Amino acid sequence: MLLKEYRICMPLTVDEYKIGQLYMISKHSHEQSDRGEGVEVVQNEPFEDPHHGNGQFTEKRVYLNSKLPSWARAVVPKIFYVTEKAWNYYPYTITEYTCSFLPKFSIHIETKYEDNKGSNDSIFDNEAKDLEREVCFIDIACDEIPERYYKESEDPKHFKSEKTGRGQLREGWRENHQPIMCSYKLVTVKFEVWGLQTRVEQFVHKVVRDILLIGHRQAFAWVDEWYDMTMDDVREYEKNMHEQTNIKVCNQHSSPVDDIESHAQTST
């Protein structure tokens, strides 16, 4: 098990980011869904928890075979997906990733959002007070992203919002920028297979970090697209994007479950 805490600051408020996050996830999923890969939304509906209250439950299938390293592609079926289940009780969310083909693999993410610059060192005291973990700050303006994902229009150092006047962030922007909020993410990666555990867990954390960096850069760079939306507006946008994305992804898969189960049985 490898546990890390990521802190990603944004030039937004927590209330603003509630809309921006939903918009970004839907648009990003649609953009990334091509050639039968991407995100299929299986379920998206209101959910009530006795402790956390009203929220939204989402289940997705994330198809990503071509994004795996070569050593992993050699041992997984051609049509390979990870199941994502998310419980959104904003400003607190839980996300879990599992794979039926790899039963000893899982990712568990707990997220909390606060209007500060990542200065709350006790935010996960109830969840992981005594657990050793590395704290990693992610800077949306200054941290490097993989070259293939770079777009100047999504670079916070160059982008400036017409609707908010925010942007063109410079090194050290987190110290004085207002408004500012932080997304705190407690990420646990497990791959309990002897000989591969460390390698896989480290690789997964690298992927998680890249995704967090790219996604949060996009959420800010697209702010003028979502800033005037209400929650009803963004839920309608989310619904439309999910329908379009499902068509793009599902048309490529006649029966992914059968393919994976068949591969698993053959391997066994």
Query: How, if at all, do strands 181-191 and 38-49 pair?
Result: unpaired
Q: Are 83 and 61 in contact (CB under 8 A)?
A: yes
pTM above 0.85, yes or no: yes
Q: What is the average pLDDT across 43-69?
A: 86
Check whether 236 has a pLDDT greater than 80: yes
Q: What is the b/e burial string over 171-200, where b = at least 16 CB atoms within 10 angstroms of the residue's CB?
A: eebbeebeebbbbbbbbbbbbeeeebbeeb
Q: Which domains does the chain have, with CATH numbers?
A: 1-241 (3.30.530.20)
Q: Which two tokens stand for residue 228?
A: 């005037």
User: What are the tens digits of pLDDT across the range 99-153?
Assistant: 877 889 999 999 999 999 999 999 999 888 788 899 999 999 999 998 989 999 9
Q: What is the average pLDDT across 158-186?
A: 97
Binned at pLDDT 50, 70 and 90, residue 35 comes out as: low
Q: Compare 74 and 251 and report the one with higher pLDDT.
A: 251
User: What are the tens digits of pLDDT across the range 181-205?
Assistant: 999 999 999 998 888 899 989 999 9
> How confident is the model at residue 181, as a pLDDT?
98
Query: How, if at all, do strands 81-89 and 134-138 pair?
Result: unpaired
- As a whole number of Å, the end-to-end CA separation of the chain is 25
Q: Compare 64 and 12 and report the one with higher pLDDT.
A: 12
> How confident is the model at residue 66, as a pLDDT?
57
